[in-house]
Amino acid sequence: MSAGLGRILHSRGAYRTAATTLRSTRTSTGRVFPTSPTATTAARVGVPQGAPAQTQVRLISGTTTDAKSAAAAASSAVSTSTSTPSLRELFDSPPVSSSRSRLASSTSPEGLFLYQNLKTPATFLDSVNAAIARGHLLVERIAHAPEQQDGGQEMRKVIKLFDRLSDVLCKVIDAAEVVRCLHPDPAWRQAAETVYEELFSWMNTLNTDPRLYEVLHTVLNTPAIESGLSEAERQVALVFLRDFEKSGIHLSDAKRAQFVDLSDKVVSLGRDFMQNCSTPGPGPAHILVSPPSRLQGLSPSYIQRITKTNKQGEKVAVVPTSGWESQMVLKHVEDEGVRRAMYVASMAEDKAKVAVLDDLLKTRYDLAQLVGLPSYGHMFLGDKMVKNPENVSAFLHTLGKSQEAAVESELQLLQKAKRVATRDKDARLEAWDRDFYVRLVSSRTNTMPHGDSISAYFSVGTTMDGLSKLFSHLYGIKFVPGTVLPGETWHDEVQKLDVVDEREGLIGTIYCDFYGRQGKQLNAAHYTVRCSRRVDDDDEEHDIAEGMTLREGIELAKADPGVKMTGKEGRYQLPLAVLSCGFSRPPGGKPALLSWVEVETLFHEMGHAMHSMIGRADYHNVSGTRCPIDFVEIPSILMEHFLADPAVLGLFATHYQTGAPLPAGLLMAHRANRSTFQAIELHSQRSMAMLDQLLYSPVVGSHAFNSTAALEDLQRTTGIVPPVPGTAWQTGFGHLYGYGAGYYSYLFGRTVTSQIWETVFRSAPTSRSAGERLREHVLKWGGGKDPWECLGGLLEDDRLMKGDQESMKVVGDWGTKTPL
């Protein structure tokens, strides 16, 4: 997770990218610093002494690479060694090398990500103390900056000090986010949980520290300083300032303490909610189907495999109600009674899970109330492009009105199909019918050509090679297989890519963890482990104030040494990202072949990763994907448009065995199949966005509030099928935590990217000039420029520049005219 003081917790969650000033690309709370025990700075680090300072301190790399490792990484990226495998070889026939360790251990020469303190779970825990120790020094330096008699020089450094503080803490907490989600070793995952919770708690106390706020406020209100700020500095400062104010900095001491307690409770409840999302509910683990012939539509071999003989000697099929089996039944089984039983069992209401979700929603509501806002939605959306829940509701309403006719038309097709199949002229569509009849009507409407499926043209290696070729065309950037040192990755299947710019050389690193395994979170996600920022002007030597003595043995996290960037002054730490997917690894060393949805997922997540690589700023808090949630989705959703374009597919989509290009007829048939029932799919996304807004609205404050009842009411008024009593699918809607009040951003992003595609890329999707236009106006800025200005510049539309109601109306109108 990364946070910058101002948007400290940004989670996706991604995007699966918490948006805080110290914030992460995966979770989002809108906070300045994510926080631990509220021990004083003097107790944890040192106290001013009258005698001359004699510091006894050991500098550790914290979560940074040392100079030797940085140099090794840079040299590996530009290596032209003939032994370097191609991207297809790397991902389709991964090498077995003695230089790759299964996971970091006490004997490993390197730590995870080449971080020297990530060699063992124990050293990972040590990194928390080192980060907090450095953090305390920076906090005290900021707090005492106004006292310095240096003509305002120290005050001029305050924004940089805030950014450094954010970077120090986020490097640890972001690494913890990856480890706890992806590492196969329970000891590592437990250490990561401890690291995450301790740092998050301490960062919460920073969000409510009035000394820090007062100094920052003074900087922004001192004309001699403010007038000399760059655009990026001003944006960084405003992000921190807003998050301080969002965190109730003006409250009394007692209420600020209450804010910290509530924030810690949100994290705990959020963790419980996310665990609940992936655990079975109270319904039966299996449904019993007798006779097994009622499962017609499934593979006969599968039916035979799950068929048992009961005590009465009858044949009974025992069908699991979780995972892919339930989806398979709902999509393929002809017997409506079986589908109904599966839906009710798999979606059964778990009152304990509902209680956790409702407690999470009410706790966030209490946070908003504490700072004087009517709902958490108002609290979360205040610094987003949409500004407030009212604008979100207007956007979703406009989108819905524009799709009404299409939804009704598609719904009639499904309704007619059910009445024909059941020979019941009064039959109505139910929740357990949708997937079945969508598949049935689509298969009858769109006939796929004989021969290999479309997956044969999208091996993982082929797709990664295609992404590299696309980025080379658009930006002059390519992927080069990197050298993996022992202990550097958490699993043998993790591959390392150096990201190389034709003008600037190595610009970052991406670790690819593409295959599912036990203990790994299977949701596709992009994690930013380290952001770009300038490091040579850190002024680290002045963190220890004159007259301060540090306790013996204190360890301090130190800055990354950075590398020299072509065309830029100074040295920069390079961004480091992780892409995780849950693809299936076939046996026998065969290449993994991806479905179209999986290829879309990979393109989408790579859009986030490239934003992290290209958005290299002087400041951690505005680099890469550290921008509002409704803006951060735009580069990733745009990638889905590229995937759908024949010219882009022509760059790489070839048969994994023969090398033959993707047949035009197969592509056309597939696209026709995908476009069927697009309006109903859009309606489903809109419904989820509406539920998300409802559950973070003022209605949560009612004593009678219950999320299941709220969902049923919404389904009755806006749903295409009636609610099913006794079910509660909202307890599995994980985005309610990581994207709380922000799920609209996907539809918002689809609307904006459709306009970008039509305006900038439609006529020349692989054009370097179009790619550079996107890079210059959007990608390179990260969060260092107002997103509405970025969008207005890209589309050359002055109406967008102000980001006001007129700007929102323009975007809403796009949704009614441009295909999404």
Q: What residues are labeled active site? A: 605
Query: In one letter, which amino acid is 179?
Result: V
Give me the long-range contacts of 76-82 (CB less than 8 A, separation at least 24). Answer: 76/482, 76/483, 76/498, 77/480, 77/482, 77/498, 77/499, 77/500, 77/505, 77/506, 78/480, 78/500, 78/505, 78/506, 79/480
Phi first, then psi: give them for residue 258, nearest 5 degrees. Answer: -65, -35
Residues of the chain by 3-state class (helix, strand, coil), percent to 5: 55, 10, 35
Angle between helices 460-475 and 596-614 (to 10 degrees): 40
Query: Of 624, 675, 717, nearest to 17 (Cα)?
Result: 624
CA distance 349 to 724: 10
Residue with tokens 């991806």: 594
Q: Which two tokens stand for residue 601?
A: 């997922």
CA distance 549 to 793: 52
Query: In one letter, which amino acid is 279?
Result: T
- Residue 155 φ/ψ region, left for φ over 0, alpha for ψ in the -120 to 50 degree band, beta for the rest: alpha
Query: Of 768, 184, 749, nearest to 491 (Cα)?
Result: 184
Please list the residues that pair with 46 across neighbouring strands: 550
CA distance 138 to 163: 10
Please list the residues that pair with 654 across neighbouring strands: 661
CA distance 633 to 605: 10
Please, what's the largest Cα pairwise distance for the chain?
Answer: 94
Q: Compute, in degrees rounded to 10, the torsion defined by CA atoms 414, 420, 426, 428.
A: -30
Kind plus residue range of the DSSP H or E element containing 138: helix 121-143
3 state SS for 508-551: EEEEEEEECCCCCCCCCEEEEEECCEECCCCCHHHCCCCCEEEC
CA distance 22 to 74: 28
CA distances from 453 to 88, 462, 525, 653 (A): 20, 15, 26, 13
Work out the number of other CB atoms within 10 angstroms of the CB of residue 199. 27
Phi first, then psi: give them for residue 534, nearest 5 degrees. Answer: -80, 135
For the chain, state the CA radius of gyration: 27
* 3-state SS, residue 269: helix
Burial class of 362 by CB neighbour count within 10 A (0 to 12, 13 to 18, 19+) = middle
Q: Compute, in degrees rounded to 10, the torsion defined by CA atoms 451, 455, 457, 463.
A: 180
Please check whether residue 666 is in contact with residue 658, taking contact to mean a CB–CB distance below 8 angstroms.
Answer: no
Q: E strands along 401-491, which residues?
A: 477-481
CA distance 584 to 593: 9
